């Protein structure tokens, strides 16, 4: 028996795409020399990771708000000044 960890077998999953998206996916697959499956898998993984990160940040912000942990008026003014258009 070797020390390699066996990865679970991927579960099959069907995705329905409109023709324009499918054509764009095929063109990308050809240009990157990757399969449709590889590209779609990466896209779904990135989407899930990004949304999990975003939800985590939102939940952390809501928890901070529930604790009353808000920026002071001075902190808000400093940030507004930093990003205000230059005149």
**Does 19 have pLDDT greater than 80?**
yes
Please answer whether residues 25 and 36 qualify as being in contact, where contact means their C-beta atoms are separated by less than 8 angstroms.
yes
Instruction: Look at residue 47 and tell me if it is in a domain.
Output: yes
Q: What are phi and psi of 26, to 5 degrees?
A: -65, -40
- Average pLDDT value for residue range 7-29: 93
Cα gap 75→65, rounded to integer Å: 16
Whether the pLDDT of residue 2 is over 60: the answer is no
The 10s digit of each residue's pLDDT in 51-67 is 999 999 999 999 999 99
Query: Within a domain: residue 13?
Result: no
11 inside domain: no
Crossing angle of helices 19-32 and 36-66, in 10° steps, is 110
| Structural domain range at position 79 | 21-83
Query: In this structure, is residue 7 part of a structural domain?
Result: no
What pLDDT sits at residue 6? 79
* Overall domain count for the chain: 1
Question: Is residue 3 domain-resident?
Answer: no
Does the pLDDT at position 1 exceed 70? no
Using alpha carbons, select from 25, 23, 46, 27 the residue that is nearest to residue 37. 25
Rg (CA), the chain: 22
């Amino acid at each position: 028996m070797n020390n390699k960890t066996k990865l679970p077998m991927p579960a099959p999953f069907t995705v329905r795409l409109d023709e324009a998206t499918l054509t764009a996916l095929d063109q990308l697959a050809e240009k990157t020399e990757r399969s449709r499956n590889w590209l779609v898998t990466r896209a779904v993984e990135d989407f899930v990771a990004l949304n999990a990160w975003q939800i985590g940040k939102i939940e952390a912000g809501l928890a901070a708000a529930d604790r009353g942990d808000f920026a002071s008026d001075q902190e808000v003014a400093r940030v507004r000044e930093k990003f205000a258009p230059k005149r």
